[in-house]
Amino acid sequence: MSRARVHGAVSIVNAMANGLGAALGVGLRVEASCRLVEKPVFRIRSGGRLLKSGSLPEKVCRLILRDYGLQKGCEVNVYSEIPARKGLKSSSAVSSAVALACLKEVTGEAELMEAVKYSVEASIQTGVSATGAFDDASACLLGGMVVTNNFERKLIARRIVDNSLRVIILIPPGGMLSGRVDTSLFKPVEPLMRLAHRLALNGEEWLAMTLNGLAVSTALSLDAKPALEALKNGAIAAGVSGKGPAVAAVVRPQDVEEVGKALSRFGRIVETGVCNENASVE
C-alpha cells in the first residue's frame, strides 16, 4: 500500500476567465492511500464513506492504470481536512493525493508534476473543473505560490512565501458545486484578472489576490464585504477563493486576532498557515 500527503490551497488568481491562474499552498491536509487489487474493481472511500462509481478519485486511478497497461483495480482511502464545495481546492487536493499514491503503487515512484497531470485530466473528464485546475493541483503538490497557464498546463513560476504568515479562512453557509459556473460571467472582469495574473508573476501576489477577489465577487455576485473588513483590520491580502463562497485572508501573526474577529461575524473561520512544502509519498 502507498500513502500520500498533500496540502490545500487558496486562490491568488482564478483561472476561469482566461486560463491564467495562481494559487497559494496552505496548511489544510489531505491524505490518501492506494492498494492495487487483481480484479478490475474500484473501492473508493472518503472519510469512511464508500463513494459511488464514477467519482473523481476513481477516474484518477483508471487513467493511471490505463496508461501503464494494467488490468487491475484499486482500493483507495481518503481523509481530508478541507471543507468541500467552498472554493478551497478540495477536489484538486484529493485528486492530487490519490494520483500521487496510485503512481507510487503502480510504478514504485511518484513525480509531482505527473500527479498534477492526472489530477487535471481527471478533473476535466469528470466535469469537476472547467480548466482542470492546473494552478490548484500545482499549489497542492508543490506548495508555495504558483503562477500558471492552465490551458497550456504550464507552470510559469513558483515562489516560496514567508512561513510566518497565517491564513484565516471564512467558511460561510452554502456552497458552490465545482465545474458548474458559467465562465461567460467573468468576461466583464477578464482584464482585471489578467492584470492580477501579471501582478502575481511580478512579485505582487498579495495585491493580485485582493484584486482577483474583488473581480470574482463582482462577476459572481458574491458579497465583497468580508474581504474588505479583513483588509480594514490588518490583512495584507483578502478575497474570495475559487468560485467561493469561502474568503481567504493572508495575515501577519500580530494581526490574526483582529482579522479573525472581523471575519467571524460572517460565519465560521479556520486558521491555518502557508505551506511551502512539497507533497510526500511513501
Task: Tell me the CATH number at 217.
Answer: 3.30.70.890
Would you state the pLDDT for residue 178?
A: 54
Residue 21: HSE in the Cβ half-sphere, 13 Å Cα cutoff: 30
| Whether 9 and 140 share a structural domain | yes
Q: Which of 113, 132, 160 is where one domain is finished?
A: 160
Is residue 122 domain-shared with residue 170, that is, in the same domain? no
Q: Whole-model pTM?
A: 0.94
pLDDT confidence band for 182 (50 / 70 / 90): confident
Residue 155 has a pLDDT of 98
Q: Is the pLDDT of residue 176 over 70?
A: no
Three-state secondary structure readout of the chain: CEEEEEEEEEEEECCCCCCEEEEEEEEEEEEEEEEEECCCCEEEEECCEECCCCCHHHHHHHHHHHHCCCCCEEEEEEEECCCCCCCCCHHHHHHHHHHHHHHHHHHCCCCHHHHHHHHHHHHHHCCCCCCCCHHHHHHHHHCCEEEEECCCCEEEEEECCCCCCEEEEEECCCCCCCCCCCHHHHHHHHHHHHHHHHHHHCCCHHHHHHHHHHHHHHHHCCCCHHHHHHHHCCCCEEEECCCCCCEEEEECHHHHHHHHHHHHCCCEEEEEEECCCCCEEC
For residues 36 and 137, membership in a common domain is answered with yes
- When pLDDT is cut at 50, 70 and 90, the band that residue 241 belongs to is very high
pLDDT band at 177 (very low <50, low <70, confident <90, very high): low
* Percent of the chain topping pLDDT 90: 88
Of the CA atoms within 13 Å of residue 34, those in its CB half-sphere come to 34
Is 154 found in the same domain as 101?
yes
Rounded to whole angstroms, the Cα distance separating 257 from 82 reads 22
With b meaning 16 or more CB within 10 Å and e meaning fewer, what string describes 223-242?
Answer: ebebbbbbbebbbbbbbbbb
Which of 37-41, 52-56, 146-150 has maximum average pLDDT?
146-150
Q: What is the pLDDT of residue 220?
A: 94
Average of per-residue pLDDT across 11-22: 96
Are residues 133 and 103 part of one domain? Answer: yes
pLDDT at 181 over 90: no
Query: In the structure, what pLDDT confidence band is assigned to residue 85 with cuts at 50, 70 and 90?
Result: confident
The cell 482579522 sits on which residue? 259
pLDDT at 180 over 70: no
Give the domain CATH number at 105.
Answer: 3.30.230.10
Distances from the Cα of 56 to the Cα of 16, 59, 129, 251, angstroms: 20, 5, 11, 33
The chain-wide mean pLDDT, for the chain, equals 95
Q: Is residue 279 part of a domain?
A: no
In the chain, the number of structural domains is 2
Whole domain around residue 113: which residue ranges?
Answer: 2-160
Q: Give yes or no: residues 42 and 127 share one domain.
A: yes
Could you report the per-residue pLDDT of 157-168, keeping only the tens digit for each?
Answer: 999 999 999 999
Q: 198 and 105 share a domain?
A: no
Residue that is last in its domain, among 160, 180, 195: 160
Shared domain for 141 and 178, answered yes or no, is no
pLDDT above 80 (res 268): yes
Which of 10-24, 42-56, 67-81 has the lowest average pLDDT?
Answer: 42-56
